Amino acid sequence: MTAATSFAKGTLGAKRAPARLTDLAIERIKDMIVAGKLVAGQRLPREQDLAHELGLSRNSLREAVRALTLINVLEARQGDGTYVTSLEPRLLLDAVAFATHLMRDHQLLEVWEVRRLLEPSAAALAAARMTDGQHIELRERLDRLRSASDLGELMRADAEFHRFISRCAGNSVLESMLETLSSQTLRARALRKATDEQHRQAVYDEHLPIYEAIAARDPELARAASAVHVADGESWLRRSMSLSG
């Protein structure tokens, strides 16, 4: 069974086509997109025509379209038919973002481990690709960490600092994956900043080495500075969960 069908099973109505046929319809639509027979922004053929082309019932096709709509591969436009979405990574990873919010605390550690693998790479790419103007923008985001007057403002400044680095890495898939992971780790980061006053005061100092390495256009130093920063947060989370357990 495909991931799309599994995700859809709990949300579709009780009257469904057999799962195997729905899986087959999903696979055939996916194959059409991969082969370029359907492209981003294109309107799907009429339901009757597409069902005939795929050799499946209209009911199976309808279930497949619903499932693919749920994971942002297709988009239903009222009165205008069904279209292939832009297929941008941020859209396709929305279902993953939804799933991360359902994870238990011990799984949060695994999410953080993945972030530790990816975020230093984004910092390294940003160090190699950022323009002088983007260095100025990153510095402005760094300064907001120091001037934040409350926890909410501090969290927004923290998230935007990392988000801007990911954006400037120049890789839309990496940017979307980090955005997905960061949304899940924000809760733990907020708890840390709320309960550890010493850490709150040190937030600026923790981010400064990342900025300096990127501004110096030193990818490996940026990678190392980012790795230290993320690993420090992960170590705090492990200690915190160990004590609470």
Overall CATH class of domain 3-87: mainly alpha
Question: Taking the mean position of all CA atoms in its chain, how far away is CA 207?
Answer: 22
User: What pTM value is reported for the model?
Assistant: 0.70
Q: Tell me the pLDDT band of 245, cut-offs 50, 70 and 90.
A: low
1 vs 170: which has the higher pLDDT: 170
Asked if residue 12 has pLDDT above 60, the reply is no
And the tokens for 179? 């955005």
Asked if residue 1 has pLDDT above 60, the reply is no
- Predicted local confidence at residue 10, as pLDDT: 46
Break the chain into its structural domains and give their ranges.
3-87, 94-244
- Yes or no: say if 1 and 47 are a contact pair by the CB < 8 Å rule: no
The domain covering 94-244 belongs, at the CATH homologous superfamily level, to: GntR ligand-binding domain-like (1.20.120.530)
Q: What is the mean pLDDT of residues 107-119?
A: 86
